[in-house]
Amino acid sequence: MSCEVEALDRVFLQLGPISIYWYGLIIATGAFLGLLIATRETERLGLKKDYMIDIVVYAIPAAILFARLYYVLFEWDRYIGEGPWWDIFAVWQGGIAIHGALIGSVLTAVIYTRVRKISFWQIADIAAPSIILGQAIGRWGNFMNQEAHGGPVSEAFYNNFMQYLPGFINQQMCIGGTLYHPTFLYESVWNIAGFVFLLILRHKFNPRRGDVFLSYVIWYSVGRFFIEGMRTDSLYLFGEIRTAQFISIVLVVLSVALMYYLRKSGISNRYYNGKKVK
């Protein structure tokens, strides 16, 4: 469907030669709210809130590094065949992947918890709702950059759905004279629903250790699998196989297998709140 609307300004604040972009502000807001929720839950469970703060301090640079490495790995031919080799490090030009960020964050948490001799699964369960909330908020950074969107919208879909969305969303999804699917919005809504689900799971159903984090991985992966199929900027593993969809399937299978393993091995012999399983 064709459209003609001026895009929103990507710059939040201009301080002389320094530009503060909406993207960075939104990502920082998501990270701050996630950390606030996680530290409060850490204290509620009788743990030191410094644990979560330390992990975030270490995990942020690791997440950025792995997010970039992941993206470059699956776009290797592009970086080798086009432009100077140092473009590999040009994160400001775009090109990071959430799955890479998650890998970097999890590895950081594993190392940190082993050094501090605390339970990785307990920390992961505490962090899970904060992670998915941060992802839900962070997708609005993609919105401001007019990226991570889907294909063109049909007139029928616009009449049945998109015309009821706030005007600023349709305005920003009008790119180059064409209206595109706001897949950032679909994923953001899915992640907010996941955030609510995880809070209910850990406070109402008293899950075992590992269940909240692995439920997060399953929830996010299922939504990402379907939404990824709508996007126009996907990384491809080979042929028409989208990397994020393949990884999502692998993560769901691994998460289910890990839930089973943790129970059979006795590792998850404690509930989320620390009580022993009867």
What is the C-alpha to C-alpha distance for residues 87 and 72, in angstroms, rounded to an integer? 10
**Angle between the 22-44 and 120-144 helix axes, to the nearest 10 degrees?**
160
Q: CA of 249: how far to CAs of 150, 245, 252, in Å?
A: 21, 6, 5
Query: How far is CA 79 from each of CA 34, 92, 93, 233, 240, rounded to the nearest angstrom?
Result: 34, 15, 12, 16, 20
Q: How many helices (H) and strands (E) does the chain have?
A: 10, 6
For 102, what's the count of Cα atoms within 13 Å in the CB-facing half-sphere?
A: 21
Each as own residue / partner, the long-range contacts of residues 226-232 (CB below 8 Å, 24 or more positions apart, any chain) are: 227/183, 227/186, 227/187, 227/190, 230/150, 230/151, 230/181, 230/183, 230/186, 231/148, 231/149, 231/150, 231/183, 232/149, 232/150, 232/151, 232/180
270 is in an annotated binding site: no
Give the angle subtended at the CA of 142 by the CAs of 96 and 160, to the nearest 5°: 135
Residue in the block written with tokens 């955030």: 195
Q: Residues at the annotated binding site?
A: 139
